[in-house]
Amino acid sequence: MRIVIVGSGVSGLSCATLLLRAGHEVVVVTADPVERTTSALAAAVWFPTAAGPADAVARWGATTYDALVAEAAAGVPGVVMRESLTLLREHPEPDAPLPNWAAAVGDVRPARPDELPPAYPAGLRYAVPLVEMPRYLPHLRASVARAGGTFVVRRLERLDDVLDVAPDLVVNAAGLAAGALVGDDTVFPVRGQIVRVANPGLDLSVRDEHHPDGRAYVHPRTTDCILGGTLDAGVWDTDPDPAETEAILARCADIVPALAGAEALESLVGLRPGRPAIRVERDDTLLPVPVVHDYGHGGSGITVGWGCARDVLDLVAAVD
């Protein structure tokens, strides 16, 4: 089939990749080049964040985990396995179950005392994929182009603005814009501010989801570290807040003392596409051709992207 994919973030490009492999003709319609999408700003560590429903996220996340592990092993640009530490503010009960995400990761163990920063009594150690989006997204785009996919830069007002491309099917993977294109008013922005600093030699990702001053995470990349961050539901402001920058630096120094005194190279804000539940389903009511939706990933785009794309592929295969 001739398929138009709306959106060139990680979701759209993942769908494009799988659909091209299945033999379809793919046109990607995007409002912005890949380097200006929300995906390009993502810290992009595999870890379910601000997305539901839980059972589906677990399934999509497991599929994506395996796909990214394979890409890391194959040397795909920007994809590495990163040793990680989730900090706990109190000792868990002896029989407490591991978090839901641990089933996909497999090898999760209690952190040793020497692996914990001051004032933290417990933590979990594991390895997950980290994706450097400034390298990975151009790789995906180039892969799609090499496989025969084409790109059209166009800002849409409505989803039917793509009908002049004569598609047999449309995939709606437009991120935050996806809801407005189809009249879905359950989509909302989840503002995320992050700070980029030079990497002083770190190779361990660290996070405290329950820091009293706000979420704190440190994700080392090749030459820099991404520090965060915020989850401000319903906030459209994309201007970095200097006070928030200082607060992020302070609480990240709490969890990684080696960052004490680090200077911000830049502060960035992205608007994640929030929704009460990720939408991956076929819709035959919007256009003269079928539409398959893939949006509402919240802060979990890199965590569920390949899993959602696999479901999109199955939905497309079921079209008569």
**Angle at the Cα of 61 from the Cα atoms of 58 and 67, rounded to 5 degrees:** 145
**Are 194 and 260 within one domain?**
yes
Alpha helices for the chain (secondary structure H): 10-21, 54-74, 102-105, 133-146, 178-182, 242-255, 301-317
Query: pTM of the prediction?
Result: 0.94
Is the residue at 296 inside a domain? yes
Residue 77 belongs to some domain of the structure: no
- What is the domain range of residue 141? 2-66+132-185+276-317
Residues 254 and 298 in one domain: no
CA atoms in the 13 A half-sphere facing the CB of 82: 28
CB–CB of 226/299 below 8 Å?
no
Cα distance between residue 273 and residue 7, in whole Å: 12
Q: Cα 15 to the chain's mean position, in Å?
A: 14
- Could you tell me if 197 and 250 are in contact, meaning their C-beta atoms sit under 8 angstroms apart? no
Structural domain count, the chain: 2
What are the mean pLDDT values of the chain's consecutive 10-residue runs (320 residues total)?
96 98 97 77 88 95 98 97 97 90 95 95 98 94 97 94 94 96 96 96 96 96 94 96 97 97 95 96 97 96 97 94
CATH number for the domain spanning 195: value is: 3.30.9.10
Residues 21 and 114 in one domain: no
Q: Check residue 297 and give its pLDDT.
A: 96
* 150-199 confidence digits (pLDDT tens): 999 999 999 999 999 989 999 999 999 999 999 999 999 999 999 999 99
- Residue 89 within any structural domain of the chain: yes
Task: Indicate if 194 and 62 belong to the same structural domain.
Answer: no
How would you class 21 by CB atoms within 10 Å of its CB: exposed for 0-12, middle for 13-18, buried for 19 or more? exposed
Residue 74 lies in a domain: no
pLDDT at 42: 78
Residues 222 and 290 in one domain: no
Where helices occur in 147-271 by DSSP H, the ranges are: 178-182, 242-255
